[in-house]
Amino acid sequence: MPILSLRAITSAAMVSAAILAAPALAQDNPEVGGAPMFADRNIIENAVNSADHTTLVAAVQAAGLVETLQGEGPFTVFAPTNAAFDALPEGTVETLLMAENLGTLQTILTCHVVGANALSSDIAGMAAEGGGTFEIETVGGCVFGVTVDGDMVMITDEMGGVANVTIADVIQSNGVIHVIDAVLLPAM
pLDDT at position 7 over 60: no
- The rounded distance, in Å, linking the Cα atoms of 116 and 138 is 10
- Per-residue pLDDT, 25: 37
The average pLDDT across 44-63 equals: 96
- Per-residue pLDDT, 89: 95
- The rounded distance, in Å, linking the Cα atoms of 1 and 141 is 17
- Per-residue pLDDT, 6: 42
pLDDT band for position 188 (50/70/90)?
confident
pLDDT band for position 155 (50/70/90)?
very high
pLDDT at position 4 over 50: no
pLDDT band for position 73 (50/70/90)?
very high
The region of weakest confidence among 14-18, 39-43, 56-60 is 14-18
Hey, what CATH topology would domain 3-180 get?
FAS1 domain (2.30.180)
pLDDT at position 180 over 50: yes
Return the domain boundaries, the chain.
3-180
The region of weakest confidence among 1-5, 86-90, 104-108, 153-157 is 1-5
